[in-house]
Amino acid sequence: MELLGLYYYWVFAILLMIGLYAVIVKLNLIKKLIGLSLFQAAVFLLYITMGKLEGGTAPIVTDANANGLFSNPLPQVLILTAIVVGISTMALGLGIVIRIKEEYGTIEEDEIQEIDK
């Protein structure tokens, strides 16, 4: 049961692989971006779970709870930055897809390659 006990890492790994699969296999550029988004979201989950401590609370130290159990806030702060990066990437990616649609009239990778030949 030890393997299932780490179910949050399984969620990370499976989500990561679903995302990567979509990026590699799908020919539709929007679907590729959805895959990429899932791929990044998986990493967000990895960071957030690593900071969580069972029974831990937000690290606001007062006299009353000076010896309490606190979760690590740093991974959440880090991942906030990574989420912003992810959003920018997605916005830029979608912008490029729109431009591709304007220029090529399609967003299917195989058709674009056909036109470029």
Site for other proteins, rule CB under 8 A: 20, 23, 29, 32, 36, 39-40, 43, 46-47, 50, 75, 78, 81-82, 85, 88-89, 92-93, 96-97, 99-100, 103-104, 109, 112-113, 116
Nearer to other proteins (CB atom), residue 25 or residue 64: 25
**CA pseudo-torsion sign 82, 87, 90, 91:** negative
Cα Rg of the chain (Å, integer): 20
**CA pseudo-torsion sign 6, 12, 15, 21:** negative
Distance of closest approach, residue 64 Cβ to other proteins, in angstroms? 25
